[in-house]
Structures are given as C-alpha cells and as structure tokens.
Amino acid sequence: MDSKVSNGSGLQDECITNLLVFGFLQSYSDSNFHKELEVLGRELPVPAHLQEEQDDGLQTDGNRCGHFLASEERDSQGQEEIIQDIARQLAKIGDDMDRSIHPGLVNNLATQFMNRRLSEEDRRQRLTAALEQVMQTYPTDMEDEKTMLILAMFLAKKVADHTPSLLREVFRTTVNFINQNLFTYVRNLVRNEMD
C-alpha cells in the first residue's frame, strides 16, 4: 500500500485515518469483504515509533497499530481505542444514511474503480463527485464535514461490499480523500474525545 499522501501528512496522521476507515469497515461483520479486510489489516503501514513484538496480524479487537514504546504506550493505545470507538459510532450513523445512497451510484462507482487505468487522483475525483451527488440529496442536521466523512466511508463500504476485490483501492482512495479534505475535522474529533 502506498503510504504517501499528497497533502504531506505524516505517517502518524495517516495511521489515524487508516484506523478510522479500517474500524468503520470492520464494524460491518456481515460484509462480503471480510477476508479482504483481514488481509488489508495486515498490510496497513505502521508508524516508525511502533517497535518491538509487532504481531503478524490483527489483534482480537481489530487494532493494528499496537505495541508502542513504553513512554508512548498508554497515550497511543488510548488514542487508538478512541479512534476505534469513533469509527463504530460513525458506522452506526452510516447505517441510518444507507437509504440516501442509490444502488445505481454504488454500481457506477464500483465500475469506475474497476478501471485499472484510472490514477489515484482520478479515483479520488470520482469519489468526490459521488459524494457531492449524495450530499445534494441528503437532508442533514449534522455538520457538513461529519456528513461527508461518514458518507465517504459508507460509500467505501458499499463499493467494497458490491465488489470485494476493490477493497484495497477504495480504502486507499477514501483515506487519501479524508486526509486531503477532512483531516482537520478528524483530528479534532479525536482530540475532543481524548479531553
């Protein structure tokens, strides 16, 4: 998996977004992409400060970025748990948004993601266009950023459920989209929960 993010966010930032999107997708235990998600979890980049005894797979609670150095262990594991909790909460809200996503939009997005000639930027643009389309039809009483974050991850879930082999591509594109457009919001969500 390409660990570069075009907005220059560090691996620590990418780990936050990876954990959030991964945790969101993991909340759907009845998904068609369960096996692909397990493989993806083993491939996620691990921050440089994660040392010693990295296990070769997911922990039983689904955490991937574990085994921190002693001085960072408590804070980092606490942050990881908070991100996992946020992901689960957002997935519950996403379930309520399911009705706003037309199956034809998911089919179209999956078809576009199957085009291997599309660059990462082209995929991100396709995701953005689909999100804008859904946002126009979704009456919301939430902040636009929260709605867009949930819908981006829910679209990723829907595309991966439609075509499990696309999980890696849709995951990477969603992480990049969030890092480029919503990362300040995500970082603030995590900080607010830690306070």
Residue type, 133: Q
| 114-159 pLDDT, tens digit each | 999 999 999 999 999 999 999 887 766 788 899 999 999 999 999 9
| 156-171 pLDDT, tens digit each | 999 999 999 999 999 9
What are the angstrom distances between the C-alpha of 117 and each of 112, 152, 157?
Answer: 10, 22, 22
In a domain, 116, yes or no: yes
Specify the DSSP element, H or E, that contains 56.
none
In a domain, 102, yes or no: yes
In a domain, 1, yes or no: no
Which residue would you say has higher pLDDT here, 184 or 74?
184
Question: What pLDDT does residue 180 have?
Answer: 95
In a domain, 65, yes or no: no
d(CA 1, CA 64): 15
In a domain, 57, yes or no: no
In a domain, 56, yes or no: no
Which residue would you say has higher pLDDT here, 18 or 13?
18
Contact predicate 183/7, CB 8 Å = yes
Residue 19 has pLDDT above 50, yes or no: yes
| 51-109 pLDDT, tens digit each | 333 344 444 444 444 443 344 444 666 788 899 999 999 999 988 888 778 899 999 99
Question: What pLDDT does residue 30 have?
Answer: 87
| 24-58 pLDDT, tens digit each | 999 998 899 999 999 999 988 754 444 333 344 44
CB 142: neighbour CB atoms within 10 A? 13
**Three-class secondary structure assignment of 71-117:** HHHHHHHHHHHHHHHHHHHHHHHHHHHHHHCCHHHHHHHHHHHHCCC
Domain count of the fold of the chain: 1
Query: Domain range for residue 164?
Result: 12-47+75-194
Looking up residue 79, the CATH number of its domain turns out to be 1.10.437.10
